Amino acid sequence: MNILVVGSGGREHALCWAIAASPLTDQLFCAPGNAGIAEVATCVEIDAMDFDGLAGFCRSEVIDFVVVGPEAPLCAGIVDRLEAAGFKCFGPNAAAAMLEGSKGFMKDLCARHGIPTGAYARFTDGTAAKTFIRERGAPIVVKADGLAAGKGVVVAASVDEALAAVDEMFSGRFGSAGTSLVIEEFLAGEEVSFFALSDGAHVLPLAAAQDHKRVFDGDKGPNTGGMGAYSPVPALTPALEAAILTRIIRPTVAAMAAEGRPFKGVLFAGIMLTADGPKLYEYNVRFGDPECQVLMARLQSDLLPALLAARDGVLDKFDLRWHREAALCVVMAANGYPGDYQRGTPISNLQPAGELPDVVIFHAGTQKLGGRVVANGGRVLGVIAKGPSIAAAQARAYEAVEVIDWPDGFCRRDIGWRAVIRERGGA
Ligand code: AMP
């Protein structure tokens, strides 16, 4: 088969790496890709939002299957567009991508179908939103309804902070994403990212991962796209996993089908393990990044047939095998990220680092300039290692980080800390 992966981050590198290993793959393309992806796929200079350009490419290269990585093209209807042109796609259509594209839609769906999530209200008016916040008190969570590149959520510790968030969101900073708000109950607990494939009717659970959103060690500093991740998640017992599937994931897939928006693709549930059991705080309609990188490192089975089965509605006949080992990803970012940072700084020693046993390096934002790999984004590399425990995977990943020579980059030094404490018999 000829496959096209759409996107350019660490997630897409991990997907290309898995798909390139499939015996079903003849030619693998990635649009637009990056310097690391170019080692396993042919990169083509077409933007992920250029649907005409992508459809034309699918036609000229006789593409059999398109795998869409990021949320923006999914929410904008890339799957509707390419399927109408006769190309099979992995990912939800625009109607189903609303689960991520509108937080209000997601909350209303949960309310209609009894899916456990925090209490909430929706607002299009600042005064009413502020009255509600004053009545409820803090902590409280303020969310822009639409896609805001991970910046539309404020977990406010005080009423004043929540009121300021309302003003900021209605200020126009988030464009149309901020014309409507969801104000949500603060959920206390440990966060887990849970992933499952859906073909519109059936669910195939993948695995869980935990990421690290804050930029500095000890979960301090501003939020980022994610500074590292690991899988499996020791906090997630088989009983909790079963509860997430039966109370949250399966009812969501059934609800979407019942409402005429069957969900095909990968559901990424943000779950809080609260004292009252698992509760959903967000849905994403694509793989997480960096979570996808550790899931692909752990996946033993061929990924491609599973993605095809999700598209074709035959996931019920499917099973996947996973490596027993844990996988851990340390993200290396450009100095200054998530604020201003420099592009174009040179990175070396990627090859010896990637040749360490049980290590693989995925590129999130790189470019090749004059034969050298240079940084081309905020999050630049994902350094992934496997090991018999999270602690072993962590040690190996940091060994590889030490080999990489990039004076203009940094990483957190404590990825996996919660799981490592648990493995040592701590709380
Ligand atoms: P997001 O950008 O949507 O991934 O959300 C950012 C972060 O906000 C999540 O990773 C959670 O840590 C936090 N969050 C979102 N909703 C809630 C909630 N209802 N209670 C507590 N934390 C939340």
CA 124 to ligand 1 centroid distance, Å:
21
pLDDT of residue 176: 73
pLDDT reading at 377 higher than 70: yes
**Four-residue CA torsion sign, 301, 303, 304, 307:** positive
The length of the chain is 427
What's the whole-number mean pLDDT along residues 410-417? Answer: 97
Amino acid at 285: V
Banded model confidence at residue 171, pLDDT cuts 50, 70, 90: confident
Mean pLDDT, rounded, for 322-336: 97
Q: Is the CB of 153 under 6 A from ligand 1?
A: yes
In the predicted model, is pLDDT for residue 93 greater than 90?
yes
Please indicate whether residue 187, judged by its CB atom, sits closer than 6 Å to ligand 1: yes
How much of the chain, in percent, has pLDDT values that exceed 70? Answer: 99
Task: Tell me, using a 6 A CB cutoff, whether residue 55 lines ligand 1.
Answer: no
Tell me: pLDDT of 26 over 90: yes
Tokens of 152: 């539309």
Q: Cα–Cα distance between 241 and 220 in angstroms, integer?
A: 28
Task: Assess whether pLDDT exceeds 90 at residue 327.
Answer: yes
Q: Using the atom order of ligand 1, give the atom closest to the CA of residue 188.
A: 21
115 vs 25, 99, 248, 251, 287, CA distance in Å?
39, 13, 6, 7, 21
233-253 tens-digit pLDDT: 998 999 999 999 999 999 999
Please indicate whether residue 156, judged by its CB atom, sits closer than 6 Å to ligand 1.
Answer: no
pLDDT digits 0-9 by tens, 117-169: 999 999 999 999 999 999 999 999 999 998 887 678 899 999 999 999 999 88
Q: In the predicted model, is pLDDT for residue 424 greater than 60? A: yes
Structure tokens at 11: 């997630």
| pLDDT surpasses 80 at 177 | no
**pLDDT reading at 427 higher than 60:** no
Q: How far apart are CA 7 and CA 25, in angstroms?
A: 18
CB 371 within 8 A of CB 338: no
Q: Is the CB of 213 under 6 A from ligand 1?
A: yes
Mean pLDDT of 361-379: 96
Query: 305 C-alpha vs ligand 1 centroid, how far in Å?
Result: 33
pLDDT, residue 149, reads 73
Position with higher pLDDT, 370 vs 93: 93
pTM attached to this predicted model: 0.96
Which of ligand 1's atoms lies nearest the C-alpha of 213?
10
Percentage with pLDDT > 90 across the chain: 91
Protein residue closest via CA to atom 15 of ligand 1: 281
Instruction: Write down the pLDDT at residue 174.
Output: 73
Decide if 290 contacts 69 (C-beta within 8 A).
no
Q: What is the pLDDT of residues 261-279, one digit of tens each?
A: 999 999 999 999 999 999 9
Q: How would residue 228 be classed by pLDDT, with cut points 50, 70 and 90?
A: very high
| Best probe residue, ligand 1, of 136, 153, 185, 271 (max atoms within 8 Å of C-beta) | 153
